[in-house]
Chain A
């Protein structure tokens, strides 16, 4: 179960709960207008408990589509979310920033 709220400052989304197979469609839809607009997108992950590789695929597609028009900022990941970001080596993307 994923809860998504829009944030204005910084511009982006606040995610709470879990991003699993059943939730990736909602996440992609919520990101779509921000990706179209371009510019940096901040995802506040403070209250996110879980994300799997299906959710990471959505993030990677976002990075590919933004390509030079903005960065994706992953803010305050904890526990297993931080671990997955580490193991996937997402920091290798030039336009991704992980903010503790």
Chain B
């Protein structure tokens, strides 16, 4: 096991559940002894992944899985739907499309496995170091 703890919960794709997801993760982050800054970044990033599952996946539920390792925390958000590939045109559609850039900025590694019609289920894996690396600053 190498000290890795896993915890997973399934939520319906409803806007009202997003605060519940954060409270689920906040408890796990506290139990893992993460700093407030690392916890904030992780919660902000995972919230964006979950908001995308709620808004865009077209599926009824999504899973949030927490893996608490010695050096990094991994959170995987998995829905049952398909990924919409698009580039937002701000002058046409207004501001938005901030979710994925934000996830990139707030985590150390972001992987997206796009669900397709033939193979549904978009999986977003967010990895965050337990402590900020050398030379990295949260100004």
Q: Do A and B bind each other?
A: yes
List chain B positions with a Cβ less than 8 A from chain A.
Answer: 15-16, 18-19, 22, 36-37, 40-41, 43-44, 47-48, 51, 54-55, 94-96, 98-99, 102, 105-106, 138-139
Query: Measured between alpha carbons, how far is A53 from B55 in the docked complex, in Å?
Result: 13
A88→B95 contact, CB < 8 A: no
Query: Measured between alpha carbons, how far is A83 from B38 in the docked complex, in Å?
Result: 11
A80→B96 contact, CB < 8 A: no
11 residue pairs of the A-B complex, CB under 8 angstroms, read A20-B15, A20-B18, A20-B19, A20-B51, A21-B15, A21-B54, A22-B15, A50-B43, A53-B98, A83-B138, A86-B139
B102→A87 contact, CB < 8 A: yes
Closest chain A residue, CB of each to CB of B52: A53
Closest 6 CB pairs of A and B: A21-B15, A53-B98, A80-B40, A22-B15, A60-B95, A20-B18
Query: Measured between alpha carbons, how far is A83 from B19 in the docked complex, in Å?
Result: 18
**Residue among B15, B44, B51, B138 having the largest count of chain A Cβ atoms under 10 Å:** B44
Query: Measured between alpha carbons, how far is A57 from B18 in the docked complex, in Å?
Result: 17
A83→B44 contact, CB < 8 A: yes
Closest chain B residue, CB of each to CB of A64: B95
A57→B44 contact, CB < 8 A: no
Residue-wise interface mask of A (20-35) relative to B, using a CB-CB cutoff of 8 A (1 in contact, 0 not): 1110000000000000
Query: Measured between alpha carbons, how far is A64 from B16 in the docked complex, in Å?
Result: 28
A-side binding surface: helix, strand, loop or mixed? Answer: helix
Closest chain B residue, CB of each to CB of A22: B15
Query: Measured between alpha carbons, how far is A55 from B22 in the docked complex, in Å?
Result: 16
CB distance from B21 to the nearest CB of A (A): 10
List chain A positions with a Cβ less than 8 A from chain B.
Answer: 1, 18, 20-22, 50, 52-54, 56-57, 60-61, 64, 79-80, 83-84, 86-88
Query: Measured between alpha carbons, how far is A83 from B43 in the docked complex, in Å?
Result: 11
Query: Measured between alpha carbons, how far is A57 from B96 in the docked complex, in Å?
Result: 6
**With known contacts A50-B47, A80-B43, A88-B102, A1–B19 Cβ distance under 8 A:** yes
Instruction: Give every chain B residue within 8 A of A50 (Cβ-Cβ).
Output: 19, 22, 43, 47
B98→A57 contact, CB < 8 A: yes
